[in-house]
Chain A
Amino acid sequence: MTRAGLQALLSHWWRHPGQLVMLLAGLMLATALWSGVQAINAEARAAYAQAAGRVDAGARARIVPRAGERLDEAQYVALRRAGWPVSPVVEAHLTAGGATVRLIGIDPITTPSDLIPRAFSGTDSAETLRRFLLPPHLVFAAPDVAAALAEATGAEVRAADDLAPGTAVADVGFVQRLGGAEGLLDRLIVTDAPRALAPPPLETIAPGLVLQPAAPRADLARLTASFHLNLSAFGLLAFAVGLFIAHGAVGLAFEARRGMFRTLRALGLPLWHLMLLIALELALMALVAGAAGMVAGLLIAGALLPDVAASLKGLYGAEVPGTLTLRAQTWVAGMAAALAGAGLAGAGALWQLARLPVLAPAMPRAWARASAHRRALEATGGLALLVAAAALARFGSGLMAGFALMAALLLGAALILPPLLDLCLRLAGRAARGPLSQWFWADARQGLPGLSLAMMALLLALAANIGVGTMVESFRRAFTGWLDQRLAAELYVRARDDAEAERLRAFLAGRSEAVLPLWRVEATVAGVPSFVYGVEDHPTYRENWPLLDALPGVWDRLAAGEAALINEQLARRAGLSPGDTIEILPGWRLEVAGIYSDYGNPTGQVMVALAPFLAHFPDAPRLSHAVRVAPEDAPALARALIEEFGLPAENVVDQAALKRWSLSIFERTFAITAALNVLTLGVAGVAIVTSLAALSGQRLVQLAPVWAVGVERRRLARLELLRALALAALTAALALPLGLALAWVLLAIVNVEAFGWRLPMQLFPLDWLRLVALALLAAALAALWPALRLARMAPARLVQVFAAAR
């Protein structure tokens, strides 16, 4: 009985491959995007767990000379002999092809593996090692300087894209020779290798050296939580869109097989058995589609991971490999998602089947009418969700509330889309005059249930595109404008100790327009961990500083020591506004005279005048300086500083490089967003194609009578195309306000909660126009094939509709 029943059930798919494709495609896409995002998240989390203890040099303890000079190689040898797990580092700065290259010399045997370029551990590592150590030496360089470096040094240079721009890694001895520093080292890194039992203290072996403890490490998993939450939200959205498609396909298949169910039950198949068979059928499809979706998801993840890795590194200093590892849990989660999706998609239909009398009418329209009640329920639910979203926007707080608001907004809008479209079509039908146009609108209205899921998918995809696009573009404008203001100085120089700082200031005094101190101390202000900066009164600030809000005469009051400026993060977290008072030290209270934007900074900031700053914090390190100089002189001055003082290149940063670096991080951060956007739109396009394909069989019953009474096929085909366009256009029109609402939520709630800053929302109508055009194009392309088929359909096939045994 099972076999025969299953055969009968499955025979339907043979005769309606369009529906089968639609169901499988829906489940597959849902699984693909969801598991792709999950794979990326899993990869990142695994990397954080691994990296607990590694990451960049600042995160490790290091040994450096007490007095700003270089240390002697002999000291290194002595330390190692005594059992200290240290590895040598020397740096040289070369000019190659007009750019300064920071060449880092390491010892590949003792250096922790994560400081070695990935390219090193290639296929033949023994051979690579040999070439690295022996002349003419193999050098790994960031792609931007690889060619120039090869020319300048004559070494064999290999590009390694995990190196920061402008840097290269080579053997320590080779770098010593190139830098004219034979026998000298810049620092020693304390590695993770087990130490000898109780090595003698540093002072006894190398008295001139000091141990700098590792900088307190930020908790990467916590820092990056909002980033991954963002990704997950996108994955969930894609999953929902895929589910819409699968749900639509299951509904169609149930509708079309109603007669078969009736016959099977009349022939004596018990209801529970029938339901079991259908569940089995769904599970079968979920497994097939799930497996295909997993493969597609891993491909997507593999393609996106390098960008994600780059932005995680840029934003949080988190090292995530650019390649994917296959994890069992990813597979299990993906298949579970596919099965759950199929279950969700089929649950409603199964429920309806369970309550259906044996001899329910097999007429599709009767079913559609019966589900009108359900549609009314959905619309009510949609409205309720929108009300909930409004309430969340008004009263909610916290990141989760922000995401809940987004979910309620999107789902609510999707649910009320069909009734809204229905209303629009009814109004259009009323306004129409000719018989054909009246039929056109009535027909579009009647066909709406079959297409509404595809339209929901389109709505969500368009809204997500408009919303996220507006957010990213607003952010880009704000960020670039802000970078221009904040990075007003041409060079940023950091001395290694106070004595060197003194000499630096003297050196720079004659060679620059101004040397502005960037001196700071840590303090807790209004309960928020912050940095307090002492700043000089200078036009650089007065003309450029990105103030969001300020009292009149803000700079004069700051200079007079009467007031302070705070950054937006501090203002939001502590609820401060201009005119409020903050206490920086017990008894030292200042009025807040202004608030400035400070993107990308996780902590609070306070700016006070230099004199009171020094009076209250006499021990503040005075190392960092912003240097104003004619832009064309900046590179030469930077070189001079490096050569004159032997400063490491990271201590002399020029504005242009900093801007380029920041912007490139920004672009890569949102590259994944853009990719996911395109994918969601693609899913919506597939939804339209599959819906139209699944419906095309039923369309003939609607079209043949119109054709028979005198409307030629070509005209009908044009109207079919127009119908898809009209629905897409209406949906796009509704997607616009939804997308803007989404952008507002992202900018005004999610970003504020996740990062502590609020961005001004800007509107980009040209982007909308492009998107709407894209949506129309997608709809037209999706409708083109069925329309062409109709235009060329053999009349014999059309008249079959009227034949007795259809």
Chain B
Amino acid sequence: MENKPALLSARNIRRAFTSAGARLEVLRGVDLSLRHGESLALTGESGSGKSTLVHILAGLELPDAGEVEIEGTPLNRLSEAGRARLRRETIGIVFQQFNLIPSLDAGANIAFQARLAGRHDPDHVTRLAGRLGLAGHLHKYPEELSGGQQQRVAIGRALAARPALILADEPTGNLDEATADEVLALMLELVAEAGAALLMVTHSVRLAARLDRQLQLSRGRIFA
């Protein structure tokens, strides 16, 4: 582990938005790193830039300055196609909502990324679906599923491709507390079984406490 590069490392990430003429510096030099198999909770008040940071770490957006490396590969040196390929093969993402592809049923949604990455294993998908309590719902379309079920499908999709890194942006933020706890417990269990690293954004200190490390984003910087 010492010689191996960190799974994820971000150095001096800066990002500003200009809206209505005003310049808003959301990230002002964020440093962060995550090792294989490690889990990390990111908290911060609303509007502090957590989602923005996750998007940058996933290579969905590029920072104004600074560098993100995943398994030693700097993202800003990759073409868009290269970053897309990296997302397919290395990263599983769970957003707060609208994760799923509306035109595919739950089963196809779970398998989608794994198939894109060329790592489709039907048995694995069936097992995951069973663990997520979705066995009877695989032929339903997203709009026919409850919010909790939709998030479980999204988690299944993130795990099905066996990515090294899972990024989750308030994956249970839209759910009631009981359901949120249940879904999250399941996710942590499955992530641990898969040996993947996890970076999860959450508002809940209680949930954050269940992860290996906790960081806070405030005024554009990271605090432990």
B85 interface hit (Cβ, 8 Å): yes
Chain A contacts with B in 428-449, Cβ cutoff 8 A:
434-436, 438-439, 442-443, 445-447
> Which of these, A705, A710, A795, contacts B85 with CB under 8 Å?
A710
**In the complex the two chains form, what is the Cα distance from A365 to B55 in whole Å?**
28
Q: Which A residues touch B87, using CB under 8 A?
A: 708-710
Q: Which B residues touch A366, using CB under 8 A?
A: 143
Give the Cβ gap from B165 to chain A, nearest Cβ, in Å.
13
- Stretch of A275-283, A482-490, A711-719 that contacts chain B: A711-719
Give the Cβ gap from A775 to chain B, nearest Cβ, in Å.
25
- Stretch of B65-73, B98-106, B215-223 that contacts chain A: B98-106
> Known contacts A365-B143, A713-B80: does B103 contact A708 (CB below 8 Å)?
no
A355 interface hit (Cβ, 8 Å): no
> Which of these, A439, A710, A715, A796, contacts B61 with CB under 8 Å?
A796
When C-beta atoms are compared, the residue in chain B nearest to A434 turns out to be B115
Question: Cβ of A795 and Cβ of B55 under 8 Å apart?
Answer: yes
Q: Which B residues touch A795, using CB under 8 A?
A: 55, 60-62
Question: Cβ of B95 and Cβ of A709 under 8 Å apart?
Answer: no
**In the complex the two chains form, what is the Cα distance from A795 to B61 in whole Å?**
6
Question: Cβ of B93 and Cβ of A709 under 8 Å apart?
Answer: yes
- Stretch of A510-518, A622-630, A797-805 that contacts chain B: A797-805
Question: Cβ of A706 and Cβ of B60 under 8 Å apart?
Answer: no
A702 interface hit (Cβ, 8 Å): yes
**In the complex the two chains form, what is the Cα distance from A701 to B98 in whole Å?**
7
Q: Which A residues touch B113, using CB under 8 A?
A: 709-710
> Which of these, A365, A435, A442, contacts B111 with CB under 8 Å?
A435
Q: Which A residues touch B152, using CB under 8 A?
A: none
Instruction: Pick from B51, B83, B111, B112 the residue with the most CB of A within 10 Å.
Output: B112
Give the Cβ gap from B139 to chain A, nearest Cβ, in Å.
13
Question: Cβ of B96 and Cβ of A710 under 8 Å apart?
Answer: no
Please encode chain B, from 175 to 218, with 1 for each CB lying within 8 Å of some chain A CB and 0 for all others: 00000000000000000000000000000000000000000000
Question: Cβ of B96 and Cβ of A803 under 8 Å apart?
Answer: yes
Give the Cβ gap from A31 to chain B, nearest Cβ, in Å.
36
Question: Cβ of B98 and Cβ of A710 under 8 Å apart?
Answer: no
**In the complex the two chains form, what is the Cα distance from A712 to B102 in whole Å?**
18
Q: State the majority secondary structure of interface residues on A.
A: helix
> Known contacts A796-B61, A799-B61, A802-B169: does B115 contact A705 (CB below 8 Å)?
no
Q: Which A residues touch B81, using CB under 8 A?
A: 712, 714-715
> Which of these, A443, A710, A803, A806, contacts B103 with CB under 8 Å?
A443
Q: Which B residues touch A806, using CB under 8 A?
A: 97-98
Instruction: Pick from B95, B103, B104, B115 the residue with the most CB of A within 10 Å.
Output: B103
When C-beta atoms are compared, the residue in chain A nearest to B170 turns out to be A804
B117 interface hit (Cβ, 8 Å): yes
Please encode chain A, from 698 to 742, with 1 for each CB lying within 8 Å of some chain B CB and 0 for all others: 000110111111111111000000000000000000000000000
Give the Cβ gap from B164 to chain A, nearest Cβ, in Å.
14
Q: Which B residues touch A801, using CB under 8 A?
A: 98
Chain B contacts with A in 112-168, Cβ cutoff 8 A:
112-113, 115-117, 120, 141, 143, 157
Instruction: Pick from A365, A798, A799, A802 the residue with the most CB of B within 10 Å.
Output: A802
Give the Cβ gap from B51 to chain A, nearest Cβ, in Å.
6
Give the Cβ gap from A144 to chain B, nearest Cβ, in Å.
63
Give the Cβ gap from B104 to chain A, nearest Cβ, in Å.
6
Question: Cβ of B60 and Cβ of A798 under 8 Å apart?
Answer: yes
Q: Which B residues touch A702, using CB under 8 A?
A: 101-103
**In the complex the two chains form, what is the Cα distance from A4 to B143 in whole Å?**
33
Question: Cβ of A802 and Cβ of B88 under 8 Å apart?
Answer: no
- Residue positions of A touching B, CB distance < 8 A: 363, 365-366, 434-436, 438-439, 442-443, 445-447, 701-702, 704-715, 795-796, 798-799, 801-804, 806
- Give me 13 other A-B pairs in contact (C-beta within 8 A), A799-B51, A802-B95 excluded: A363-B143, A439-B101, A439-B104, A442-B108, A702-B102, A708-B99, A709-B116, A710-B86, A710-B116, A715-B81, A795-B60, A799-B61, A802-B99
Chosen A-B contacts, 8 in total, with CB atoms closer than 8 Å, are A366-B143, A702-B101, A711-B84, A715-B81, A802-B169, A803-B96, A804-B170, A806-B98
* 6 closest A-B pairs by CB: A710-B88, A802-B95, A435-B115, A446-B103, A710-B87, A365-B143
